[in-house]
Amino acid sequence: MRRFIILLSLACLVVGVFSAFAQEAEPRKSEEDNGYAQISIFAKALELIRQDYVDENKTSYHDLINAAMKGMLSSLDPHSQFMDPDDFRDMQDDTRSRFNGLGIEVSMKNGLPTVITAMEDTPAAKAGILSGDQILRINGISTERMDLQDAINVLRGPAGAKIILTLLRPSTKEIKEYTLQRAEIKIQSVKGARLLDPELTGPFKIGYVRLVQFNEPTADELSKALDELQKQGMQAVILDLRNNPGGLLNSAVDVCAQFLPPNTKVVSTQGRVASQQHDYSTSGAKKERGNFPMVVLINEGSASGAEIVAGALKDLHRAVLVGETTFGKGSVQNVMQLPDGSAVRFTTAKYYTPSKQVIQGNGVTPNIRVAVTAEQERSLFALRNAGNMKPEDEKSIIKARDPQMLRAIDALKGVMIYAQENAPKAQAVKK
């Protein structure tokens, strides 16, 4: 009993501290939501479990409190979570674009871990796993009640270990089992920069760049790629954000700066408190490129930072979006480290495009909708990851497997033909 009273006293002290902060952020809650009363109920339940639960080795304060925090954070939304010290270190490794795992970006959707994208040149991509695939079992264990972080912890780990995934593909209702081997994942964010085959583009020089993820060097690498394409006479560009799961917010804003004037607002955040309301704009120091015609390719695997870029370029009428509606991950998470090295990540705001459209749950819709079949996506993805897409085969591969790319090329050709035909008229008016 003495131990319970001490625990309750400490819990009330914690509640008091949180209450002091909360009073600055929001109006006083009702008596039914009184922190002191609720924490005393929690402390009572904790002591009852420690006293009477059948397996004593599962009832340490550390394990029970950690489990409670996991449940508390996961009940809020799919992107909020509690991370123990090891999980927190893994998250920090992600920002360095290097980790061990299968190469799957995962989020919770409809109660199941769902593939946002399988990153290129990784075991998952080479096996043919696609965006939207739902993970039903990991190593034979059902994921129906599995915490997202617990699922990630199994997917990641020492290179060389084998993982068995059972996946449901909603588009075809197909259930398939994959045996994958973990590997060290190194992410190169800018790929495939080139001028497209003249047999596809006709008299026009159309550039193509694919962004795999938004990391610290992405904007600089993109800038160099665009500089090189412009030296080659590029007249228009296709920016491919398909299966791009996002990354760093500042990187996404800097990518927008490659195509928009300086000091242009590209995204804003809004939360419950004033500190979470912020506008993000392109740098005033960035050089402005020519206003060449532009198409952005998107699909269900485009998420977070990719949606910020696509939404900004669409709203500001800088690019035409071709493809399918994006994933719909448009919320801001704050990460706060706790004294023992663990951390809590919780949603504090939502992203809004320049026209105030909410990305979270809705995604960004294309101007021109072009669907692809699962077979087309699987075969195109396999060719990319096998590294056997030869330049001389590009035309036939795009025609057979990539209707979104074909529609993007046609849209740009139409814009440039129209501009050519109307240029003499515009000059005549000026005279």
Residues involved in catalysis:
304, 315, 329
Report whether 93 contacts 99 (CB < 8 A): yes
φ/ψ of residue 341, rounded to 5 = 95, -10
How does strand 343-352 pair with strand 81-83?
antiparallel
* Residue matched to tokens 């994958």: 180
Question: Coil, helix or strand for 91?
Answer: helix
DSSP summary character for residue 105: E
Any long-range contacts for 63-68 (C-beta under 8 Å, 24+ apart)? 66/342, 68/42
How does strand 265-271 pair with strand 278-281?
antiparallel
Report whether 40 contacts 11 (CB < 8 A): yes
DSSP character string of 155-185:
HSSSTT-EEEEEEEETTTTEEEEEEEE-EEE
Q: Which of 206, 180, 175, 182 is nearest to 193 (CA)?
A: 206
Q: How many CB atoms neighbour CB 294 within 10 A?
A: 19
User: Around 180, how many Cα atoms within 13 Å sit in the side-chain half-sphere?
Assistant: 32
Q: How many Å apart are CA 289 and CA 258, to the nearest integer?
A: 7
